[in-house]
Amino acid sequence: MFVFQRVRGAAVTLCAAILVWGVLMLPAAAKDLPDYVSVYVNDFADILSPETEAELTRILQQAREARDHEMTVVTIKSRHAYGGFRDIASFSDQLFNKWGVGNAERNDGLMMVVAVEDRDMRIALGSGYRARYDGIAKRIIDSIVIPAFKDGRMEQGILEGTRASLDRLQLDTRPASELSPMERVQRWTDEDPKRKVLLVILGIFGAPITAILGFFGIRWGVRNAPRKCPECGRRMVRLGDVQEDQYLDAGQLVEERLNSKDYGVWVCEYDDHIMVKGYPKVFSSHGACPNCRYKTYHTRTTVLRNATTSSTGLKRLDHSCKNCGHTASEDRTIPRRTQSSSSSSSSGGSSSFGGGSSSGGGASGSW
């Protein structure tokens, strides 16, 4: 009995010690995280020259002012100097959330962390980025940053990696009306990863196959339905693709070449009456030309000035017809970005972040 009581007492003491140690260790990481000096560059490891730090600040500030896009660059000597972090990912994610990088509603912030003595680094992403952006961040690290680090060009690697991150890691904020059908599906699945599972389930049960077969079946039926000659009432014959071209005019041939419209030609063998029917393609990027009326009009959009939370943007639409050569251009205003109260202090020149958060997305690399 005495031995049992001593064993039980030792077990209780051990459990209490483990509990106290856990309580003390959990907040240690958050308590030891550094505060930021700048919302753009925090060179705690002191590895950046004044010229490089100034250039980083310039491009990061420009991204903030022009696109309301927050990214910050952080260098440290070692994550172990700031608490018991098991890897660069856990350190970066907690630092990201402590500082609140990015817009609080969009959660589109970016943070590049370089741990010099640990020889590892990370690009941490806000929780608004879906899983596919992790792969983009990984490619930036493996193809741009790490090769420069291995060659001893650390400052250049950070600069080029920052530029690539700002260029490639952007959430698509275009209105749905400007997206292609595939881009709409991509955005729809990006907004909720569970929707990808739904698409997989539908695929397993053959819903897409059924829909595709049904669509093409109806289209085939409509296009190949028997036609009666309006002159004699007899059944007409549908010509093949090669034979029908001789009955199409130049504009119709251009439409078929651009895949914007498909034509069917029927001929009556008794009185040589010709019937031509056109069928517009559903997903064509060409519209009807205002000059020749053929569906050969293409529009290219160029952003002249990005919209911000304080001013509208400007884009130019260049139209050109592949049939008659008609061209036209017009400028259109891009609406101002919506500014929330949580992001009102996140514009260029601000001394604080916008209150964004990260849920662990991003990628890491070592050299």
Give per-residue pLDDT as tens, 26-77: 444 444 899 999 999 999 999 999 999 999 999 999 999 888 899 999 999 9
HSE-CB for 45 with a 13 A CA cutoff: 21
**pLDDT surpassing 50 at residue 342:** no
Q: Lowest mean pLDDT of 14-18, 169-173, 227-231, 335-339, name the range.
A: 14-18
In the predicted model, is pLDDT for residue 5 greater than 50? yes
Q: Are residues 193 and 218 in the same domain?
A: yes
**Pair (193, 275) in one structural domain:** no
Which pLDDT belongs to residue 226? 81
SS (H, E, C) 208-232: HHHHHHHHHHHHHHHHCCCCECCCC
Strand partners, 333: 314
Write down the pLDDT at residue 347: 38
CA R_g for the chain: 31
Same domain, 192 and 320: no
Domain presence at residue 159: yes
Examine residue 362 and state whether it is found in any structural domain, yes or no. no
Q: In what order do the strands lie in the sheet with 313-321?
A: 286-287, 297-305, 313-321, 327-334
Same domain, 186 and 234: no
| Confidence category of residue 174, pLDDT binned at 50, 70, 90 | low
Query: Do the Cβ atoms of 93 and 105 come closer than 8 Å?
Result: no
Q: How sure is the predictor about 345, in pLDDT bands with cuts at 50, 70 and 90?
A: very low
Q: Which two tokens stand for residue 170?
A: 């952007």
For 326, the domain range is: 226-332
Query: pLDDT above 70 covers what percent of the chain?
Result: 74
Q: Is 309 in the same domain as 239?
A: yes
Model confidence at 108, pLDDT cuts 50, 70, 90, reads: very high
Q: Catalogue the E-assigned strands of the chain.
A: 41-43, 71-76, 110-115, 120-125, 237-238, 261-267, 274-280, 286-287, 297-305, 313-321, 327-334, 362-366
Whether residue 242 sits in one domain with residue 142: no
Judgement on whether residues 167 and 43 belong to the same structural domain of the protein: yes
The pLDDT value recorded for residue 343 is 38
As a whole number of angstroms, the distance between CA 111 and CA 92 comes to 8
Count of domains observed in the chain: 4
> β-strand 71-76 against 41-43: which pairing, if any?
parallel
164 and 40 within one domain: yes
Report which of residues 28 and 317 the model is more confident about.
317
Give domain status of residue 322, yes or no: yes
Flag whether 352 is in a domain. no
> What's the whole-number mean pLDDT along residues 106-123?
95
Q: Which two tokens stand for residue 154?
A: 């650390």
**In a shared domain, residues 200 and 259:** no
Average pLDDT, the chain: 82
- Indicate if the pLDDT at residue 190 is higher than 80: no
119 lies in the same domain as 101 = yes
| Same-domain pairing of 166 and 55 | yes
Query: Is 351 inside any structural domain?
Result: no
Do residues 150 and 199 both lie within one domain? Answer: no
Residue 347 lies in a domain: no
Question: What is the average per-residue pLDDT within 140-167?
Answer: 95
